[in-house]
Amino acid sequence: MKILLTIHHELDPNLGAPGVTWRVGEEYKKLGHEVSYFSFDDLPKFLPGIAKIILFPEFVAYKVASLANKGEIDILDASTGDAWLWAKLSQLWQRKKSSKTVPLLVTRSHGLEHTVHLQLLEEVKRGNMKLSWKYPLYHGGFRLWEVDNSLRLANLVLLLNDYDLEYSVKQLKVDRDRTQIVKNGISDTLLNLPMPKILDNSKIRIAHIGSYIPRKGIHYSVPALNSILKNFPNVEVTFLGTIVPKERVLADFDPAITDRIHVVPTYQNSELPHLLAEHSIHLFPSLSEGFGLAVVEAMACGLVPIVTEIPGPTEIVKHDFDAIVIPPRNTSAIEDAIIKLISDHNYLEKLRTNAYQTAQQYSWSGIAKSTLELYKKYI
């Protein structure tokens, strides 16, 4: 098959949605399919960022029409919002090109934007953040309309969790028969690593993976970590992938404990085993996730995840088996979970072992094969 994958970001294997797009495409290539990508990298360099965001569906429609006219595309696998314009134009295109077959339109969610929107509004309501006056004009308005249409007009909709699927069907009126749940995977470099050695309690290292933004739960995790570091001098914390500088993170902590806080703003995915060496706990207090790929990656490196009870992560782990699941927006629950792990070595090691084994199920190879079968089903 000839497959085009689109993503409204620069294509970067080390970032969330762009990395997923790149990795699934590379797996398709291994299976003998022709794969191409279309991203912000393909847009004119002179365009400012906001123009790229707004105009991307127009560029996608032009690209797909060009490929379809030459018979060079069978599948368009587009991230939410990317292909709504092509979907609307394709019926007209098909009438004019009656001898041509319109490619199968797949809309892929990397986490439903409506879910993120609702969580942002809740944080604003709680006084934890402010939204720009521009937010309702695009991200909180027209962008949601674009996503609605891209979901409703697709031949196949791929979603990452049951909540997003039910929301799409009930609230956005997407045809349930055209929706399917898919998973994300982890890179081969993270699969089948040597089983992590048993760690002693002389030093406990906690990893906090993800951008340092309110959606990742920092308003609730930072107070908990401040308390833990003050009361347990053998604990250290590493923030990975914050995007923001080290100084921005440390500013939220008591100066007396910042010598035990490490910040890595960006990293290569292949560096994770090294960066997470000697760590035993992964704190993931996110408020909204489509999947939670960082959870699986940390588990593959032998860390026990502490995750909030939200869609995505809770479809990966089981409480008291390979993770501790806590209520979202609950600082005391974060603190209690960390104390439980660092005070019960046997419990910590049991969960670490189970988490490592769970992570081995998330191979991109198997996920790509099952997704290709879905394509064939809906063609």
Position 78 scores a pLDDT of: 98
Q: Is 74 helix (H, G, I), strand (E, B) or coil?
A: coil
Residue 180's pLDDT band, with cuts at 50, 70 and 90, is very high
pTM for this structure?
Answer: 0.90
- 38 close to 60: Cβ distance less than 8 angstroms: yes
- Per DSSP, the residues of 195-262 read PPPPP-TTSEEEEEES-SSGGGTHHHHHHHHHHHHHH-TTEEEEEES--S-HHHHHTTS-GGGGGGEE
Task: Report strand pairing: 34-38 vs 156-159.
Answer: unpaired
Domains plus CATH for the chain? 2-185+363-378 (3.40.50.2000), 189-359 (3.40.50.2000)
Quote the CA–CA distance of 128 and 130 in Å, as a whole number.
7
Chain segment 65-105, per-residue pLDDT in tens: 999 988 899 999 999 999 999 999 987 766 665 545 789 99
Mean residue pLDDT of the chain comes to 93
Nearest in space to 318 (alpha carbons), one of 357, 366, 277: 357
Q: Is 45 helix (H, G, I), strand (E, B) or coil?
A: coil
Buried b (16+ CB within 10 A) or exposed e, 225-256: bbbbbeeeeebbbbbbbbeeeeeebbeebeee
Burial class of residue 346, CB neighbours in 10 A (0-12, 13-18, 19+) = exposed
Chain segment 293-310, per-residue pLDDT in tens: 999 999 999 999 999 999
- Whether 124 has a pLDDT exceeding 70, the answer reads yes
What does the pLDDT average to over 224-234? 96
Q: Which two tokens stand for residue 120?
A: 């942002």
Q: Which two tokens stand for residue 89?
A: 């134009």
AA letter at 241 = G
The percent of residues above 90 in pLDDT, for the chain, comes to 85
